[in-house]
Chain A
Amino acid sequence: MPAPIRLRELIRTIRTARTQAEEREMIQKECAAIRSSFREEDNTYRCRNVAKLLYMHMLGYPAHFGQLECLKLIASQKFTDKRIGYLGAMLLLDERQDVHLLMTNCIKNDLNHSTQYVQGLALCTLGCMGSSEMCRDLAGEVEKLLKTSNSYLRKKAALCAVHVIRKVPELMEMFLPATKNLLSEKNHGVLHTSVVLLTEMCERSPDMLAHFRKLVPQLVRILKNLIMSGYSPEHDVSGISDPFLQVRILRLLRILGKGDDDSSEAMNDILAQVATNTETSKNVGNAILYETVLTIMDIKSESGLRVLAINILGRFLLNNDKNIRYVALTSLLKTVQTDHNAVQRHRSTIVDCLKDLDVSIKRLRAMELSFALVNGNNIRGMMKELLYFLDSCDPEFKADCASGVFLAAEKYAPSKRWHIDTIMRVLTTAGSYVRDDSVPNLIQLITNSVEMHAYTVQRLYKALLDDISQQPLVQVASWCIGEYGDLLLSGQCEEEEPIQVTEDEVLDVLEGLLVSNLSTPVTRGYSLTAIMKLSTRFSSVNRIKKVVSIYGSSIDVELQQRAVEYNALFKKYDHMRPALLERMPIMEKTASNGPTEIVQTNGETEPSVVEPKHPPPVNQPASQGNDLLDLLGGNDVPVIQTTMPTKPASAGGELLDLLGDLSLGGPAPAPAPPAPASQPPFLLDGLSSQPLFNDIAAAGEAAYNKNGLKIDFTFERANPNPNVAVITIHASNSTEADMTDFVFQAAVPKTFQLQLLSPSSNVVPALNQGTVTQVIRVLNQQKQQLRMRIKLTYTHKGSAVQDLAEVNNFPPQSWQ
């Protein structure tokens, strides 16, 4: 059989192939030749064949039939064979094949070979792909080589040890004695790999970390020598002495100094020295500085040093090299939380990075960092930059940027008008990227800025005239027009030149939304409801009736249902229409509605009037206990209130549905009362007959004190709404037994609105050992005297106790 072709020939041949198919053909032919050559057990040409096989493997062709041949090569005596054999083993084998275990013996012999390069090959292969069994078997040999004086082998053994530790962590102890002298080496290669080994050991085990802390002085000394040593041609890279080793040592120092005062103090000087002395004109200098900055930030360094570090990062930001800028932004992002003020100084540079051409990671980092730096002082300037960025950035960033803008605007808006303007700007420029939950957030915001209603609705109307393709904008606009259409007509706007529109024009716009192809079903729902609301605000009721009845046969089930119900409202319930479609009250903000939180509006995205399909429940409870309704303010407009929470499973359910079903998302309202079916619906019992008056305490004394249970009230005024009184109840128990399943409930007259937050616990500990607190918020817009009825239920010494009381003597300050 003719001699197999050389690798070079094969490569040349393959390069002449013009198509993939041709190449495949050549390769297959050669593979066949190689296979038959392997079958002949030809020692001379084996390594040539395996080399060719490895080349084909790199191109992507299967080469597994060469695995055994690699083993044979490793076992050979010739260095050439071994070299290719080990390379083949690293490329083709891994621990998933059983074949690899056969290598173990060979490696063991080679680790003890007389030629250092053979030993080196063995160490290299073991360190690359040794499995845990192999590592266990050969760890002893590696450890021996770690102590040799041959620096070439020592450095390889160190890295091999790292691999062994990664595979079999329990063997870490074994290498500990050998590490004693590692740092006293002169050879930089050994030093470098030893530091890697030490780093690995410290990262894996806190005990090792503590043990190696004593090496800090030695490391500091080595680093100092490197910096001060002057020009050393051996290790010089662009004028700096062994930058790789410096970086490694800095990293190890970081791990050792983290959380430890003494070590950190020992490092302070050298870190300052490195930070100030390193040349920054080349990348190597910057690499060292970067590592130094990271170390300074992680250990317990003094504040002067930290400021120095941040200033270095600031300088990086001005560097022409984009890589440096990228690295600086990433680090600043990490430090902005802890060293906020220092980072603020570099704000303008960071904002400039937003304009950078590098589209990918850098802009995203600059954006995140900019948002982190926004505060009350710089909000106007920053927002201008960020809005400009929003205009021009990639679509993938727009959603995040828009949410960030909303959040920042909410926190730091200098004025309501500015806030609304900003929102309008976002909606018009990036409207289609805004998150879905921003729509209810914005609506709530608009509702709460009472004085801006006219201005807002006017601007939104004008925006609609321009462009109806951006759904969030359209949804917010239609909702506003529905609510405040009368303001639009009346032409009262203080902030801007009022526009003159007629009712028909407005209705035209809204109807246009209904028929447009650009509107989604949700948007259509909004417009239909808006048109309906205008029936109480405009006078062209007939036109509206017509529109609504058309959609009674719409294919879209949602629209159809709404239209049918609105029709019903016109026909049968016309007397209720004005009340139902009344203006929305101010929505209490119960939780910070950041872009990541969803405002719950009873599952609908539209926080609008309750569907007319609820009229039945409205009427039903009227038959049950009218005086209760009076007291609790059960009325016919159950719009979103943060009033009576939870619906107990008992018969009073519908009543409480009425009062509390549309609660704005927020902290859980008072827990449901204990639900034994025998218990009558709470607050209903006893009230239609004579109310049980317990001790009516003057506030300041206990509001309730009976059977060992004492309840105190404390008051404060809620910011920013002066109409809300925040009352905290403190319940304490002076008996010897705990009161468990403690539930506190309260009811207030019609003119108030009440919200109960979660209690601190359900158990009132005995003997006054602790108190249960619960917060009540009362909205008292009409500034009337506050009265409250409370009901207490708890289990005491195994029996359930229930009690009612009325509290009348609230101090005037609490409600005025």
Chain B
Amino acid sequence: MIKAILIFNNHGKPRLSKFYEHYNEDTEQQIIRETFHLVSKRDENVCNFLEGGMLIGGSDYKLIYRHYATLYFVFCVDSSESELGILDLIQVFVETLDKCFENVCELDLIFHVDKVHNILAEMVMGGMVLETNMNEIITQVDAQNKMEKAETFIFQSTRQDR
């Protein structure tokens, strides 16, 4: 089971944080900080697996991370997930984002964090992997976006763009 998915930049600023287990707000922020601290210390040539920090559950949980340009993508998982499989999943996630946003960069994630959440919701649900087929995910996300757009045109009085 995936416990949390975090995306933050090289300075530790969170770009996306999704927890599949409940923590209160302060703890969530602490976890983000602790995870950033652990991951940023890592060298470039070491493996992508780390033991989880104290707050997130200690050595029972692993942090599997990938560093793309200015962003760290970190998945915190327990022992029931295959480490190599999660690495692949991160890759699929990033490729999907790339397709949805046309050469995704950090700014896209900053300004469209809700869209990223929507994409993620089509891939991981309740801490478990839902769909891994990139095209399938994109199809569904597009369909839902279309539904949203259709609604905004009905209400002429004020523009509903968020």
Interface residues of A in 11-52 (CB under 8 A from B): 11, 15, 44, 47-48, 51
Indicate whether A244 sits within 8 Å of B88 (C-beta atoms), given known contacts A159-B130, A291-B82, A361-B49: yes
With both beta carbons as reference points, the residue of chain A lying nearest to B84 in the complex is identified as A287
Across the interface, A96 reaches (CB within 8 A) one of B22, B29, B43, B111, namely B22
Contact (Cβ within 8 A) B114 A78:
no
Residues of B within 8 A of A360 (CB): 46, 50
Q: Is A7 an interface residue (CB 8 A)?
A: yes
With both beta carbons as reference points, the residue of chain B lying nearest to A197 in the complex is identified as B128
Indicate whether A361 sits within 8 Å of B152 (C-beta atoms), given known contacts A44-B158, A80-B160, A327-B84: no
With both beta carbons as reference points, the residue of chain B lying nearest to A61 in the complex is identified as B25
Residues of A within 8 A of B121 (CB): 87, 124
Q: Is B51 an interface residue (CB 8 A)?
A: yes
Contact (Cβ within 8 A) B126 A160:
yes
Contact (Cβ within 8 A) B162 A8:
yes
Q: What sequence of 0s and 1s flags, for each residue 127-141 of chain B, a beta carbon within 8 Å of any chain A beta carbon? A: 111111101100010
Contact (Cβ within 8 A) B136 A287:
no
Contact (Cβ within 8 A) A196 B125:
no
* Closest beta carbon of chain B to A490's beta carbon, Å: 54
Residues of A within 8 A of B127 (CB): 128
Bound CA–CA A459/B26 (angstroms): 58
Contact (Cβ within 8 A) B128 A162:
yes
Q: What sequence of 0s and 1s flags, for each residue 57-78 of chain B, a beta carbon within 8 Å of any chain A beta carbon? A: 0000000000000000000000
Contact (Cβ within 8 A) A78 B22:
no
Q: Is A396 an interface residue (CB 8 A)?
A: no
Contact (Cβ within 8 A) B82 A287:
yes
Interface residues of chain A: helix, strand, loop or mixed (majority): helix
Q: Is B117 an interface residue (CB 8 A)?
A: yes
Q: Is B98 an interface residue (CB 8 A)?
A: no
Contact (Cβ within 8 A) B152 A80:
yes
Q: What sequence of 0s and 1s flags, for each residue 29-54 of chain B, a beta carbon within 8 Å of any chain A beta carbon? A: 10000000000000101111111000
Residues of A within 8 A of B92 (CB): 237
Residues of A within 8 A of B88 (CB): 237, 243-244, 283-284, 287
The count of residues in chain B whose C-beta lies closer than 8 Å to any C-beta of chain A is 56
Contact (Cβ within 8 A) B126 A326:
no
Contact (Cβ within 8 A) B144 A83:
yes
Contact (Cβ within 8 A) A287 B85:
yes
Contact (Cβ within 8 A) B131 A189:
yes
Residues of A within 8 A of B152 (CB): 80
Contact (Cβ within 8 A) B151 A192:
no
* Closest beta carbon of chain B to A142's beta carbon, Å: 12
With both beta carbons as reference points, the residue of chain B lying nearest to A130 in the complex is identified as B126
Interface residues of A in 588-626 (CB under 8 A from B): none
Contact (Cβ within 8 A) A323 B126:
no
Bound CA–CA A180/B28 (angstroms): 40
Residues of A within 8 A of B143 (CB): 117
Q: How large is the interface on A (under 10, 10 to 19, 20 to 34, 35 or more residues)?
A: 35 or more
* Closest beta carbon of chain A to B130's beta carbon, Å: 6
Contact (Cβ within 8 A) B130 A358:
no
Contact (Cβ within 8 A) A83 B118:
yes
Q: Is A562 an interface residue (CB 8 A)?
A: no
Bound CA–CA A8/B45 (angstroms): 37
Q: Is A551 an interface residue (CB 8 A)?
A: no
With both beta carbons as reference points, the residue of chain B lying nearest to A360 in the complex is identified as B46
Q: What sequence of 0s and 1s flags, for each residue 150-178 of chain A, a beta carbon within 8 Å of any chain B beta carbon? A: 00100110011011000000000000000
Across the interface, B20 reaches (CB within 8 A) one of A48, A95, A128, A323, namely A128
Contact (Cβ within 8 A) A3 B158:
yes
Q: Is A247 an interface residue (CB 8 A)?
A: yes
Contact (Cβ within 8 A) B114 A323:
no
Q: Is B17 an interface residue (CB 8 A)?
A: yes
Residues of A within 8 A of B14 (CB): 58-60
Contact (Cβ within 8 A) A51 B49:
no
Contact (Cβ within 8 A) B47 A325:
yes
Q: What sequence of 0s and 1s flags, for each residue 488-512 of chain A, a beta carbon within 8 Å of any chain B beta carbon? A: 0000000000000000000000000
* Closest beta carbon of chain A to B135's beta carbon, Å: 7
Bound CA–CA A95/B22 (angstroms): 9
Bound CA–CA A84/B84 (angstroms): 33
Contact (Cβ within 8 A) B126 A127:
yes
Q: Is A214 an interface residue (CB 8 A)?
A: no
Bound CA–CA A243/B87 (angstroms): 12
Across the interface, B113 reaches (CB within 8 A) one of A3, A58, A245, A291, namely A58
Bound CA–CA A180/B49 (angstroms): 38
Q: Is B100 an interface residue (CB 8 A)?
A: no
* Closest beta carbon of chain A to B114's beta carbon, Å: 6
Q: Is A357 an interface residue (CB 8 A)?
A: yes
Bound CA–CA A79/B144 (angstroms): 9
Residues of B within 8 A of A361 (CB): 47, 49-51
Residues of A within 8 A of B46 (CB): 322, 357-360, 362
Contact (Cβ within 8 A) B25 A60:
yes
Q: Is A94 an interface residue (CB 8 A)?
A: yes
* Closest beta carbon of chain A to B131's beta carbon, Å: 5
Contact (Cβ within 8 A) B130 A79:
no
* Closest beta carbon of chain B to A187's beta carbon, Å: 9
Contact (Cβ within 8 A) B125 A57:
no
Which of B22, B51, B136 has the most A CB atoms < 10 Å from its CB? Answer: B136
Across the interface, A283 reaches (CB within 8 A) one of B16, B45, B87, B160, namely B87
* Closest beta carbon of chain B to A182's beta carbon, Å: 15
Contact (Cβ within 8 A) A357 B84:
no
* Closest beta carbon of chain A to B6's beta carbon, Å: 10
Contact (Cβ within 8 A) B125 A127:
yes
Interface residues of B in 84-124 (CB under 8 A from A): 84-85, 87-89, 92, 110-111, 113-114, 117-118, 121
20 A–B contacts from the bound complex (CB under 8 Å): A15-B110, A63-B25, A79-B144, A79-B147, A80-B152, A87-B114, A87-B117, A87-B121, A91-B18, A124-B121, A124-B126, A159-B130, A163-B126, A242-B133, A287-B82, A287-B84, A291-B82, A324-B84, A360-B50, A362-B47
Given A159-B125, A360-B50, 7 other A-B residues pairs in contact with their CB atoms under 8 A:
A7-B114, A84-B114, A244-B89, A322-B48, A327-B83, A357-B43, A358-B45
Residues of B with Cβ closer than 8 Å to A?
14, 16-18, 20, 22, 25, 28-29, 43, 45-51, 82-85, 87-89, 92, 110-111, 113-114, 117-118, 121, 125-133, 135-136, 140, 143-144, 147-148, 151-152, 155, 157-158, 160-162
Shortest Cβ-Cβ A-B pairs, 10 listed: A287-B84, A322-B47, A127-B126, A94-B22, A244-B132, A358-B46, A326-B47, A60-B29, A163-B126, A323-B47
